[in-house]
Chains A and B, each alone.
Chain A
Amino acid sequence: MSFVDWLSTPFRYPFMVRALIAAVLVGGLSGIVGSYVVLRSMAFLGDALAHAVLPGVAAGFLINGSGNRRALFWWALGTAIAVALGIESVGRRAQIKEDTAIGILFAGAFALGIALLSTVRGSSTDLVHFLFGNVLGVSNADLVLIAAFGSGILLIVLLFYKEFLIVSFDLTLAITLRLPTALYRYLLLILVAVTVVVSLQTVGLGLMLAMLITPATTAYLLTHRLSRMMGLGALLGALSGVLGLYLSFHFGVASGPAIVLVAIGLFLVVLAVGPHSRLLSLIRRR
């Protein structure tokens, strides 16, 4: 098989074309929103959000049935936003440390989700799809949803770029500039929650965290401006999506893990030979 064939074969299948579009959208979005997750040290929160979506999905599954994917999406979205706001407001008032609060909520929600799903007979395949994604099953309607919410997120990031920057970099300054800091913090969390939900079908909730932080971190190693980190993160996320899908198609690997492994591969390459590489500076010194 020639290289051109290798590249073009997937396009003969409409489901692969839809999957590639989904992977590019989700990868790009994760790179942008993930930049905030990385810089604000919200990795654990992002992971918790992804897992906490499960009970919502399970409830939708029990109430609306597995066939109604649109309903599952709205259930997941509602749960994610509720959990995000819940974590933030509990973290502000509770007497316990924030990571402890997140840990309890995260594991509790995940257990509840699995418990709910286990009451349905033959639900194990669906559980696997939620956990690890099923990008090959993306429909046109799903693509429209991903694109619509993705544009919404992009618009908010563009509109409030400087406010998000200040709240993330120097909260004290934001307060003395009399910005409505609580509003922007909640808004950022909602952005992460929505990103998690629209990405669910591509990589699944088990691997969501990798997409949120890996492309953004790789970009962080390559640039020193937030705007460029976001742009580069989006490119790297999209690239991981496409390469991962090719690997999945040609070698029969599950798509979600393939995408994540490519993203981590890119990260390792940049870590080894990028501008901050110690390996490279050792070689240069020789």
Chain B
Amino acid sequence: MKADRRTRLDAVEICGRARGTRSAVVHEADAPALSVRDLSVSYAGRIAVSGISFDVEPGVRVAIVGPNGAGKSTLLKAIAGLLPPSSGRIEVHGHVPEGHLCIAYVPQENAVDWRFPVTVTDVVSMGRIGRLGPLRRLHAADRDIVRHALDVVNLIGLADRRIDALSGGERQRMFIARALAQEAELVLMDEPLAGLDVNAKRDVVETLEGFRRSAVTLLVALHDLGLAASHFDRALMLRGRMLGFGRPSDVFTPETLEQAYGSCLRMVPTEDGSLVVQDTACPRRTP
């Protein structure tokens, strides 16, 4: 417990600063991990999301749900500092995202060339590069961190495997290890469960539990509303604009679900009065 706390304090100290090279972004101690105000973001020339406002405290896990084309990816990219906001403001630990090294963004699976000649260890080691600065090699301490990250996600056995030999679930766990190696405090994942079978989904979600112990804040775009309700502290319902934010049980009401998904969602009432919902992931219809 003490050791965990120690690591976290160290991480706070060096976040946003490559050793000795770039100017530091100091975290504001009393600021939320993530604060979004009146955010609009354009993607490919049109407004993809607008009117988004929410705060997330450190260590909280947020599921971002909504139909395809709802703007989940765009929102995550803006928070990562990859897309500029058209209006509004994003603050990570009290500062704009662009200066932070402690934000890890895990892209959709098809964003990476899986035939690239690198091993699992190579990819996880990439998480250390931002802190190294140019012209420097990985130290023994960096390699220890990489190895520990591989251990946490249970991929030690595949450390020297070329990445094209990994299954879908193993690929996501490798990216989680990279975020751990990056010592990220805010982890953004874009549909890490897409295309995975039930067992692989459970593996990935259980691996995400590893973040909870180190008080990492987590935002995950999801299609599986059941997992969103069972494994996340907050849900953000999105369809171009924010339809709801709060505890999953408060957000997932028949009204907001209908607003978000329309006929793309099947709602099945059960005997004890709760709802079973299923996102059929059909494309967003033009309103």
Contact = CB atoms under 8 A, between A and B. Distances in A.
Nearest to B17: A178
Nearest to B131: A177
A170 B130 CA distance: 13
Given A163-B134, A170-B112, A224-B162, A176 B104 contact: yes
Interface in A223-276: 223-226, 228-229
A179 interface: yes
Given A160-B134, A170-B126, A176 B81 contact: yes
B275 interface: no
A220 B115 CA distance: 10
Nearest to A163: B134
Contacts of B117: 39, 220, 223-226, 228-229
A12 interface: no
A166 interface: yes
Given A163-B129, A179-B129, A169 B101 contact: no
Given A169-B112, A170-B112, A224-B119, A178 B134 contact: no
B129 A166 contact: yes
B103 A162 contact: no
Interface residues of A, number: 24
Nearest to B135: A159
Nearest to A38: B117
Contacts of B137: 162
Interface in B162-190: 162, 178, 182
Interface in B88-137: 98-101, 103-105, 107, 111-113, 116-119, 122-123, 126, 129-130, 132, 134-135, 137
A39 B116 contact: yes
A62 interface: no
B119 to A, nearest CB: 7
A71 interface: no
B281 interface: no
A225 B118 contact: yes
B82 A172 contact: yes
Contacts of B112: 169-170
Contacts of A39: 113, 116-117
B22 interface: yes
Contacts of A223: 117
Given A162-B129, A163-B134, A178-B130, 10 more contacts: A39-B117, A162-B126, A166-B129, A169-B113, A173-B126, A173-B178, A177-B126, A220-B117, A224-B119, A224-B162
Interface of A: 39, 159-160, 162-163, 165-166, 168-170, 172-173, 175-179, 220, 223-226, 228-229
17 contacts: A162-B129, A162-B137, A165-B122, A166-B129, A168-B116, A169-B112, A172-B82, A173-B178, A176-B80, A178-B98, A178-B130, A179-B130, A225-B117, A225-B122, A226-B117, A228-B117, A229-B117
